[in-house]
Amino acid sequence: MKGTKYYFTLICTFICINSIVAQDYYFKDKAPFNEAIPTPEEFLGYEIGEHHTRHDLIVAYLTKLAEISDRASIEVYGKTHEKRKLVMLTVTSPENLKNLETIKSNHLQFVNPAKTPKNYDEVPVIIQLGYNVHGNEPSSSEAALLTAYTLVASNSIEVLNYLEKSVIFIDPTINPDGRDRHTQWVNQYQSKILVSDNIDAEHTEAWPRGRTNHYWFDLNRDWLLAVHPESQGKLKWMHTWYPNVVTDFHEMGTNSHHFFEPMKPIGSFDPIMPEENYEDLNNLFAPYFANALDKIGSLYYTKESFDGTYPGYGSSYPDLQGGLALLFEQASSRGHLQDTDYGKITFPFTIRNQFTSTFATIEAAVANKGYLRKYQQEFFKSGLTKKAKTGFSGYEFEEKYDQNRKKAFIAQLLTHKIKVYKKGDTYTVPLKQKQHRMVQTMFETYDKYSDSVFYDASAWSVANFYNMDYKGIKSVKLGSEVTSTKGIVQNNKIEKAAYAYIVNWDDYNTPAALYHMQSKGLKVAAAFKPFTIGTSDGEVNFNYGSLLIPVSKQDKTSAEVYQIVLEAQEKFNVPVSGTNSGYSIKGIDLGSNNFRVLKKPKVAMLIGEGVSSYEAGEVWHLLDTRMHMPITKIRMNNYSSAKLDTYNALVMVSGKYSQLDSLQMQKLKNWTAKGNTLITIAGGSKWVIDKKIVKESLTKKETAKEKENKDKKENIDTKLGQVAKRLPYVEASEHLGRERLGGAIFEVDLDITHPLGFGYRSSKLPVYKNNLVFLAPSKNPYATVAKYTENPHIDGFISENNLEKFIKPSASILVSPIGKGRVVLFADNPNFRGAWYGTNKLFLNALFLGGEISVPK
């Protein structure tokens, strides 16, 4: 072993320090090359692997190739939040490129379940190579440059054969914002004499690191949810081309090697996916990867980890479109050179493995193109014949009060090309359709799995994310097809009112409208009890939380007030009514003390090392992009100098907060006690309990009595000669993994008369949980705002132990008083992945109504 290690070190050091002719290192076997095509090195002025290449240079190089080669063309399919271009380079033979539209229409015949073409082998196979979805897993984008060059410039028989038999789409950087964050980091810390010490700054990026996109979202979870422009653009492309093969390149720990599929064999199969995808296709491709990596002597593994259960990965979503999606994971040099147990790992070494797997993918796809195409055809055809195990033939949903939430859900269905129909107020989604499996994905729920350790979420019934009131139906009555979201939200344009304007709090966009009016200086109150009143829209029932804008109480003319209310309505499309009297038909009158004037939220959030960048990013994204309101992000090292009195709400998501000493905790308590609102999410809630900032507790593991009984039983067992339980060592991680909560959906009972429950019409609400924070219900009968119901499981994996002992007795939302202020504790994440439209309002209630929440004694 020692010899091998020494040899390995030698090779790596050699490549790195002496920078051998890169051409030979990466693609000697692809010669001869067209000399008119600049190599990446000639274009960039450095060898691939010597520096990390900025995204704009990647785009510039691919653009250059498209300009000078008749094998390539380039398109921009979107723009990131930071305005970087998302590009797709098409590479194929000059002949194919000229006939691209014909190829496309021939290919699309096979994904149309109404057609049955049989010329499987005649049409070029469609391959989509996707790179660098995680910004700080940089080797693959560099491999994309080499791939593009090789395909455009190589005149080898092998490459010419690929070009003739396939159309290859290269997306060099799926996440350019994250990539450039990382690129900037490693290049700025790079030394001339490379430093391989793992603890060097080059290898230890600072918070929030480059993995995620601008709002710190993991784009490799967003394929299902389509929250971000990167995924929206990609999905649009995906549903234009329906590729047969899609790659998704990643990096993992520095001490690992290389991973390719198959994933865990008995693993957590997506119950929706055809078995052939797992069994046949993966095994068909694996020998190609093994062979290619064997040739260059790279170590690899398969089958031991990763699962494609969650349908929102780049390596699972294309499977749901009849393709074969492939995950690759490469040990990371994170930077240019790092120490490993086997010696040093270089950046070029990681790039070469990704490049090698890329070409093995192309080789396998071309060799099996007829098979892949037939598989895809059958995949979509089965959508029309396949019977769901549930016995349902479709799903129905309706939403009366919250038009914008309903619209967002329908937009989600349409993004995935799911057919939706409308009859009266009811929407119907039949299962018998091309996107049969996407319908299952959106609505079906599960509780049994063949495995219990998940790489990520085990629940993804998106209808629950949106709190849609839906049900499975046995027979489908279609109605008219809904082809766009235009016209789903219809509100009467508000006319000028003499006395007051009133807005129900149901609509998803109402908090945004409220913030707009508050920012323009209107005084707005919220109803703490329901009422019915005559309005410009006739007699209207206004529920808890309805907003009141009394004309006479403003420091503005009635024309100015009208203008602001109208603006808010037009901008956020919410229902607004006017009234000329304060006298109600039922319930409270408009001058009642049960209306409370709301303070405009001034929000801050603690961020930085130790804080969950995902949860923080979700809060930032929600307020910034949906509520159109600012949030101050305070880095932990600025906390001690921050003037907290500037804010009336502070958010603490999951985090260690080890930077806050007892003095800083006192500052937090003092600020809250002045009447402000501290909002904690998941681990943040545990932190305020552990630090005794609130007088609440976590659900205990077992009561003293239970423990006593258990101890007694164990004593008896031992006396009877039964030894303590023994289990095989090798199974430990599987057993322990079962007790994690990767992500599942539970039902809570919400007090809809509590300000935190305003805007909800039903007390039953699905929530998302992916943590082990279990809050004990409050001793105060009015302070447990949401508690899990008696049978709380809706969707996803949870161990019996966690369900019975922890979920069932626990609270989901608590309010805990500190002086004149309060802490709102969320056990679950109301803003998960920017897609939980159903629970966002709980969080927004804490911000907008928090100042008016007291805990009655």
Binding footprint of Zn ion on the chain (CB under 5 A)? 134, 137, 250
What b/e string do you get for 256-266 counting C-beta neighbours within 10 Å, with b at 16 or more? Answer: bbbbbbbbbee
User: Of 250 and 516, which has the nearer Cβ to Zn ion?
Assistant: 250
Nearer residue to Zn ion within complex by CB, 189 or 455 = 455
Identify the H or E element spanning 707: helix 704-719
**Cβ at position 211, least distance to Zn ion in Å:** 7
Pick 250 or 416: Cβ nearer Zn ion: 250
Which has the closest alpha carbon to 270: 475, 454, 34, 412? 454
Report the residue number, 218 or 451, with the smaller CB distance to Zn ion: 218
Shortest distance (Å) from residue 460 CB to Zn ion: 19
Looking at beta carbons only, is 219 or 320 nearer to Zn ion?
A: 219
Taking the complex as a whole, the smallest distance from the CB of residue 250 to Zn ion amounts, in Å, to: 3
Identify the CA nearest to 215 among candidates 680, 625, 690: 625
Find the length of the chain.
857
Q: Which of 755, 752, 761, 783 is nearest to 598 (CA)?
A: 755
CA distances from 8 to 103, 254, 366 (A): 46, 15, 33
Question: How would you class 305 by CB atoms within 10 Å of its CB: exposed for 0-12, middle for 13-18, buried for 19 or more?
Answer: middle
Phi, psi (rounded to 5 degrees) for 329: -130, 130
Question: Which residue number, 251 or 444, has a Cβ lying nearer to Zn ion?
Answer: 251
Q: Which is nearer to Zn ion, 249 or 620 (CB)?
A: 249
- Report d(CA 231, CA 175) in Å as an integer: 9
CB 569 within 8 A of CB 576: yes
Beta strand pairing status for 394-398 and 426-430? antiparallel
Q: How far is the CB of 292 from Zn ion (least distance, A)?
A: 21
- What's the gap between Cα 187 and its chain centre? 28
Collapsed DSSP state (helix, strand, coil) of residue 387: coil
**Minimum CB–partner distance for residue 134 and Zn ion (Å):** 4
- Cα–Cα distance measured from residue 249 to residue 771, given in angstroms and rounded to the nearest whole number: 28
Residue 454 CB, nearest distance to Zn ion (Å)?
Answer: 16
- The nearer residue to Zn ion, 437 or 833, going by C-beta atoms, is 833
Alpha carbon distance 694, 820 (integer Å): 13
Name which of 80 and 569 has its Cβ closer to Zn ion: 80
Q: How far is the CB of 324 from Zn ion (least distance, A)?
A: 19
In the complex with Zn ion, the residue whose CB is nearer, 251 or 506, is 251
Contact 25/140 with Cβ under 8 angstroms? no
Among 331, 335, 332, residue whose Cα is nearest residue 197 = 335
Q: Are 838 and 464 in contact (CB under 8 A)?
A: yes
- Torsions phi, psi of 640, nearest 5? -65, -30
Question: From the CB of 273, what's the least distance to Zn ion, in Å?
Answer: 21
Could you tell me the smallest distance in angstroms from the CB atom of residue 369 to Zn ion? 28
| Least distance CB 214 / Zn ion (angstroms) | 17
Q: Smallest Cα–Cα separation from 778: which of 791, 787, 770, 769?
A: 787
CB nearer Zn ion, residue 41 or residue 251: 251
Q: Is 149 helix (H, G, I), strand (E, B) or coil?
A: helix
Q: Which secondary structure element, helix H or strand E, spans residue 231, and what is its range?
A: helix 229-241
> Minimum distance between the CB of residue 259 and Zn ion, rounded to whole angstroms?
11
Please tell me what DSSP assigns to residue 216. Answer: S
Q: What is the nearest approach in angstroms of Zn ion to the Cβ of residue 695?
A: 42
CB of 609 to Zn ion, least distance (A): 21
Q: Token digits for 410?
A: 């329908």
Q: Which is nearer to Zn ion, 226 or 327 (CB)?
A: 327
Q: Which is nearer to Zn ion, 23 or 231 (CB)?
A: 231
Residue nearest to Zn ion (CB): 250
CB of 132 to Zn ion, least distance (A): 9
Based on CB atoms, which residue is closest to Zn ion, 306 or 768? 306
Backbone phi, then psi, for 547, in 5-degree steps? -90, 140
Contact 403, 490 (CB under 8 A): yes
Burial of 539 (0-12, 13-18, 19+ CB in 10 A): exposed
Q: Residue type at 406?
A: K
Closest approach, Cβ 284 to Zn ion, in A, equals: 24
Q: 403-415 and 837-848 helices cross at what angle (nearest 10)? A: 140
Q: CA triplet 620, 621, 625: central angle to 5 degrees?
A: 120
Cα angle 683-773-625, degrees, rounded to a multiple of 5: 50
Supply the DSSP string of 466-513, one letter for each residue: TT-EEEEESS----EEE--STTSS--PPPPP-SSEEEE-S-STTHHHH
For residues 134 and 405, which CB has a smaller minimum distance to Zn ion in the complex? 134
The neighbour count for residue 299, using CB atoms within 10 Å, is 13
Task: State whether the Cα torsion 178-184-186-189 is positive or negative.
Answer: negative
CB of 632 to Zn ion, least distance (A): 31
Specify the residue, 358 or 510, whose C-beta has the smaller distance to Zn ion.
358
Shortest spacing between CB 452 and Zn ion, in angstroms: 23
Q: Can you list the positions of beta strands (E) in 528-631?
A: 531-535, 538-542, 547-550, 577-579, 586-587, 595-597, 603-607
C-beta of 137 vs 399, nearer to Zn ion: 137
- The residue (of 250 and 822) whose beta carbon lies closer to Zn ion is 250
Least separation in angstroms between CB 435 and Zn ion? 27
